[in-house]
Amino acid sequence: MSGDDHHTNDHPVHGTAAGDAYVALPPTAVDATATGPTRLIVAWPGFDPPRTASALATAIPMTGVPVWRVYLDLPGRSPGGLGSGAILDTETIETYCAAVESAVERLPEALADIRRDLGLQDASGAPDGAEGSVGLVGFSAGGAAAMLAAARGTVPVSAVALVAPVVAPSRVARAVEKRSGRDRSWTDGATALADRLDLGSLAGDLAGRDVATLLIGGAKDRVVPAREITSLRDLLRRHGAGPVESATFRMGHALAAEPGTEARPPITEAVRVDGVLTDWFRDRLASPTTPPDNDPPAETKRVDDPAPAADAHSATPHPSGNELLDAARVKTQPINIRPAARQPDTSPGDTQPANAQEPDTAPDKTRTTSPQPQAGGNGAWSSDAETQSAAAGCGLGRTR
């Protein structure tokens, strides 16, 4: 365990937990306060960009969520992306499986180190140990680790968000085989390891745990096609795995530019994903605060304003491109989610309905004319909501 010896409540904390490096972003939201026992979200990167904790922290900082967000390295890194020919080699798939399994096994020890570094306590004032639930986020390989941890009950989990999770390593390899014309060289042992990490086989283990789940996929993702995300969503629902929602964006697999190991300004796709993650976790872990009577109310932007500002979404500040995003210093505005008017399809980066299952080889057939979800007052999220483009904010619709 190691962490900064001196840190304040408004600066990131860098340290090592259970042998893996982490970056912790403090709660800096000014328009919401944490409610319930969860005061910590742990997020894992993937074998594709972003590949490190620091890169993931700048890609999806979730600044508007008023709890600590801790980005933790996976214990291992692939020699190549999962969509490359490297996945066909036994060494790569064994490295992948070992990283996912080890991340889950180390999580209790890592949490103990992180909580000690950050001085976190639960609502009762006692040290936040096994009784303190956490939120989990995982991208790609990290998504597999997050779902595995929730399914096994490694630590108490209140909510888990999976961004382009590797649903089945064997299907990833099969797709690469078709594209490359090359056969995988997996041993029988490597094949057995990969089959253990088929997330569909874990659906029953989540039944009865009451873990809220969000699945985010990309319509242009060739590593994890959108249809796999929606199929996993439906399977989790059939098994009664708690509330399950999904959203699909018109994006590929990566959330950062290559090589995805350094902290860089977030790309457009990451900004959109960050907005949905922020709103979703705020709904479950926080409550909005009322500004003092003597202060003017903070300005908010409607998602259906005719000319919304580029930084209309409070949780996803627009970087200048000349400097790195300092997530801990960003000041947020209240999120105002309202019924959205239909937007013209003026940008190829706009998102599509979350239930879209078009094959990744035909992005031009993506449907963009579905009616917008209507806002309701019960806080329920529509699993089939159509998210807005980054320029119009990232509010995810609600249904009654």
Q: What is the 3-state secondary structure (H, E, C) of 43-89?
A: EECCCCCCCCHHHHHHHCCCCCCCCEEEEECCCCCCCCCCCCHHHHC
| Cβ contact 389:368 at 8 Å | no
- Looking at residue 209, its pLDDT comes to 87
Whole-angstrom distance, CA of residue 186 vs CA of residue 384: 37
Per-residue pLDDT for 329 more than 70?
no
Query: pLDDT per residue over 245-257, tens digit each?
Result: 999 999 999 999 9
Distances (CA, A) of 139 to 144, 191, 237, 239: 8, 22, 21, 23
Per-residue pLDDT for 69 more than 60?
yes
The partner residues of 69 in beta bridges, in order of sequence, read 25, 41
Q: What is the CATH number of domain 2-392?
A: 3.40.50.1820
136 in helix, strand or coil? strand
What mean pLDDT do residues 273-282 have?
97
Tell me the percentage of the chain whose pLDDT exceeds 70: 67
- Looking at residue 116, its pLDDT comes to 95
Per-residue pLDDT for 20 more than 70?
yes
Q: What residue has token string 């998210």?
A: 387
Per-residue pLDDT for 166 more than 70?
yes
Whether pTM exceeds 0.95: no
Tell me the percentage of the chain whose pLDDT exceeds 90: 61
Residue boundaries of the structural domains of the chain: 2-392
Counting Cα atoms < 13 Å in the Cβ hemisphere of 306 gives 0
Whole-angstrom distance, CA of residue 119 vs CA of residue 216: 32
- Looking at residue 388, its pLDDT comes to 36
Query: pLDDT per residue over 207-243, tens digit each?
Result: 888 899 999 999 999 999 999 999 999 999 999 998 9
Does residue 257 or residue 5 have the better pLDDT?
A: 257
- Looking at residue 293, its pLDDT comes to 53
Q: pLDDT tier at 194 (50, 70, 90 boundaries)?
A: very high
Per-residue pLDDT for 398 more than 70?
no
